[in-house]
Structure 1
Amino acid sequence: MLGAIILSVLAMTAIVSVRYLAASGLFAFVTNRVRPGYHAKLGTQIRKEIGWSLASAAIYGIPAGVVAWGWQALGWTRIYTEWDAYPLWYLPVAPMLYLLAHDSWFYWTHRLMHRPVWFRTMHAVHHASRPPTAWAAMSFHPWEALTGAVVIPALVFLIPIHVAMLGMVLLVMTVMGVTNHMGWEMFPKWLVHSRLGGWLITASHHQRHHEEYKCNYGLYFRIWDRLCGTDRGLSPNA
């Protein structure tokens, strides 16, 4: 049993690592084409971002691997594979519940990590990326990585979700995590400045967090930032 768990952890670590390298590499390539020179003189920073991110991938892989093994071997979790196990209307509801729950957790843990002691101990690693790049998506101190690594493994015990919809959640996590750190806005202005865009977090919103630190703490949505008065809008530099 222990051997199977270790293999599952190693497999999940490899998957998270490859997912990070592929997604960040792709959007870093796009950045070099759209913003030539953006990465100039950032070689040392980027190498550190990749190093911290791969360490974070290992931390994410541990709970993910244990839970994946438990799901397959012992029927843990509320992940299901039959399309008719729940009403079809529930398929898109589950990912939204996951994203809202993750966003809430992230907002409050992120805001906590901006308190001086927590910032110096953990979060300063992430903010060492000045300016942030696509490679900074998982550039966290191990303790900070741990706060993010437990969210989805915990949610699969609480909220039923089809395995394909769980894949959709992971895709959104990956794309938003990378694109929010590119330093430039990839989404069209008509969306970013629309009524819907006013509730979504994209690069121009998160860029302002990296510029001013004490604002714009959300991950996917601006709900908590607006409710708590920490939303300062979009950065003019993204």
Structure 2
Amino acid sequence: MNSHNRSELHVLCSSGQLLLQPLWDRLRAWGALIQSPFFPVFFSITTYVGFCLPFVVLDVLCPWVPTLRRYKIHPDFSPSARQLLPCLGQTLYQHVVFVFPMTLLHWAVSPALLPAEAPELFQLVSHVVLCLLLFDTEFFVWHLLHHKVPWLYRTFHKMHHQNSSPFALATQYMSVGELFSLGFFDMMNVLLLQCHPLTALAFHVVNIWLSVEDHSGYDFPWSTHRLVPFGWFGGVAHHDLHHSQFNCNFAPYFTHWDKILGTLRSAHTK
């Protein structure tokens, strides 16, 4: 690479960093909150519930709005309060009783450090994509094993399949063992890639959104899998089919591992 190209690359990286710096400076102003042991639990719950609430509202409106039913995978199904409340209660209970003590322990051993500089935009995007690919692979292996080994399924994963027609708040309706497994994958990928704290936050937001969208039961024209080309993303119908048939579509987001191992099934052949 000649000096001119290196100079252009440096300018591009610097501009990407300058683009994120004001945002990072605003977040660092809340440093006391971000560095506290309460922040990870607060951030996780508020992001998750915030993403779920629009779909809960849609489920309430769906029986009265025919247009919505066009985009609902199961048009005649709407979760009742007796299904929604236990899912929400399970999420809150596990975060308070199990996740918060682990967060407190991690905070005591390794307090969060907030660097002064924001990450470069390209670095942030590339790390988020890599974290998603790693998480997808790890969860695919974990998920496949738990469907192939009866003891693992009964002990850790069966709870998540109690709702054969998924809805948004059922996303985190899972055993504490499954919750910690997914949290471990999430945390280790960020540490492995040495992600900037802003990148880690971005990855967590994207990961939570994709998981909620996959369980939402709605397949809109603007759903993520329709925005990603070449069929790389499975989408809502892809994961919904797994909940009804159990023996296919084990990857949470991407489709390549299911294609390679022959466990990919299209919702059109349901």
Give the TM-score range, shorter chain.
Answer: 0.7 to 0.9
| 1:1-238 aligned within 5 A | 8-33=36-61, 34-35=68-69, 38-39=77-78, 42-58=80-96, 59-67=98-106, 70-72=110-112, 75=113, 82-83=117-118, 89-114=122-147, 115-188=149-222, 192=226, 196=229, 198-234=231-267
Q: Which structure's residues are more often helix, by fraction?
A: 2
| Secondary structure of the corresponding residue to residue 89 of structure 1 | helix
**C-alpha separation between the residues in 1 aligned to 2:162 and 2:41?**
24
Structure 2 residue ranges without an equivalent (≥5) = 1-31, 62-67, 70-74
Specify whether residues 147 and 187 from structure 1 end up closer, same or farther in structure 2 by C-alpha distance, changes over 3 A only: farther
Q: Classify 1:67/1:101 alpha carbon distance in 2 versus 1 (closer, same or farther; 3 Å).
A: farther
Could you give the per-residue CA deviations for residues 84-106 of structure 1, whole angstroms, max 9, x where no partner exists? 6xx65323211111111111111
Listed one character per residue, the Cα deviations across residues 17-48 of structure 1 (whole Å, up to 9, x for unaligned) are 222222212222134332486325x3322222
Q: Distance in 2 between matches of 1:66 and 1:166?
A: 19
**CA pair 88-28 structure 1, distance change in 2 beyond 3 A:** closer
Kept in 2, the 8 Å contact 1:8–1:66? The answer is: no
Q: CA deviation at 1:165?
A: 2.2
The Cα of 1:190 is off from its aligned counterpart by: 11
Q: What percentage of residue pairs aligned between the two structures are identical?
A: 23
Are 1:133 and 1:181, in contact at CA under 8 Å, matched by a contact in 2?
yes
C-alpha offsets along residues 124-174 of structure 1, whole Å, 9 cap, x if unaligned?
111001311111111111111110111222223221223222222111111
User: Which residue of structure 1 aligns with residue 7 of structure 2?
Assistant: none
Change (3 A) 1:23 1:189: closer
In 1, distance between residues paired with 2:84 and 2:224? 31
Distance across 1 between alignment mates of 2:225 and 2:82: 34
Structure 1 position 218, deviation (Å) = 0.9
Unmatched tracts of structure 1, length 5 or more: none
How far apart, CA to CA, are the structure 1 residues paired with 2:212 and 2:224? 21
Q: What is the rounded CA distance, in whole Å, between the counterparts of 1:92 and 1:224 in structure 2? A: 22
User: Once structures 1 and 2 are overlaid, which stretch shifts more, 43-52 or 8-17?
Assistant: 8-17
- Structure 1 residues 55 and 227: CA distance shift in structure 2, 3 A: farther
The alignment's C-alpha RMSD in Å is 3.0
Return the letter of the residue paired with 2:210.
M
Larger CA deviation: 153-162 vs 90-99: 153-162
TM-score, normalising length: structure 1: 0.80
Question: Residue 9 of structure 1 contacts residue 64 of structure 1 at CA under 8 Å; is this kept in 2?
Answer: yes
Q: Which range moved further: 8-17 or 172-181?
A: 8-17
| Per-residue deviation, residues 28-69 of structure 1 (Å, max 9, x unmatched) | 2134332486325x3322222222222343444454554456
Question: Counterpart in 1 of 2:3?
Answer: none
Separation in 2, partners of 1:190, 1:66: 36
Tell me the amino acid that sits aligned with residue 150 of structure 1: F
Change (3 A) 1:185 1:62: farther
**Counterpart amino acid of residue 164 in structure 2:** R
Q: TM-score, normalised by structure 2?
A: 0.71
Partners of 2:132 and 2:250 lie apart in 1 by: 15
Shift of 1:213: 0.5
- Asked whether the 8 Å contact 1:67–1:153 carries over to 2, the reply is no
